[in-house]
Structure 1
Amino acid sequence: MSEYVVRFLLGGAVVSAFAMLGDILRPKTFAGLFGAAPSVALATLGIAVYRHGVDYAGLQSRAMIAGAVALAVYSVVVCHLLIRARLRAAPATMLSLAVWLMIVCGLLAVAGGQP
């Protein structure tokens, strides 16, 4: 239970710091970008280092990087399917999700992680 409290407090503090950074930067759309994912990832990695050691945190960070790269490709594929192929949202999302899964599993296999 105490791990969840630490994660909550640490995550909240880092989210607040990133939100302040996003509020300072221009354009204001950076506030949303900096508000969630990087801060939660940093809090999770901090807890992983503390609880499980640096090797486990390294594995977690490789998985996060693979997921981020796959998400970028997913976003591009969704946009192309929606705009150029004129697919509806549900089929475009499902096809792109399959692309995301293939990319993230491939990247994890190459990086030595466990897909």
Structure 2
Amino acid sequence: MTEYVIRFVLGGAVVSAFAMLGDLLRPKSFAGLFGAAPSVASATLGIAVYQHGVNYAALQAQAMIAGAVALAIYGVVACHLLVRAKLRAVTATLLSLVIWLVAAFGLLVFAGGQT
């Protein structure tokens, strides 16, 4: 129960800090970007270091980086399928999801991470 309270408080504080940073930047759409992923990742990695040590947290960080790069690849592929191939959103999403999974696991294996 204590772990969840710590996650809640730490996550909320970091989300608020990144949201304030996002409010200072232009365009305002950055506020949502800075309010989500970096803050949750920071809180999660902090708890991982505290509970499991730095080696475990390093593996988690590698997985987060691979997921972020794979998400960027997903976005590019989805945009190309929607705009250039003129596919429907559901079809483009499902095809891009397969690409995301292959990219994420491929990057983890390439980086020497555990799958």
TM-score class, shorter: over 0.9
CA–CA distance in structure 2, aligned partners of residues 113 and 68 of structure 1: 15
For residue 87 of structure 2, give the secondary structure of its aligned residue in structure 1. coil
TM-score by length of 2: 0.97
Following superposition, the deviation at residue 25 of structure 1 comes to 1.4
TM-score by length of 1: 0.97
Q: How does 1:38-53 map to 2 (within 5 A)?
A: 38-53=38-53
Q: Which residue of 2 aligns with 1:32?
A: 32
Q: Which residue of 1 aligns with 2:4?
A: 4
Q: Which residue of 2 aligns with 1:97?
A: 97
Following superposition, the deviation at residue 114 of structure 1 comes to 1.7
CA–CA distance in structure 2, aligned partners of residues 53 and 103 of structure 1: 27
Identity, % of aligned pairs? 76
Please identify, of 104-113 and 55-64, the stretch whose mean Cα deviation from structure 2 is larger: 104-113
CA–CA distance in structure 2, aligned partners of residues 113 and 13 of structure 1: 30
Following superposition, the deviation at residue 111 of structure 1 comes to 1.1
CA RMSD of aligned residues (A): 0.7
Q: Which ranges of 4 or more aligned residues in structure 1 deviate by more than 2 Å?
A: none
> How many residues end up aligned between the 2 structures?
115
Q: Which residue of 1 aligns with 2:84?
A: 84
Following superposition, the deviation at residue 89 of structure 1 comes to 0.9
Gaps of 5+ in 2: none
CA–CA distance in structure 2, aligned partners of residues 16 and 50 of structure 1: 22
Q: Which residue of 2 aligns with 1:63?
A: 63
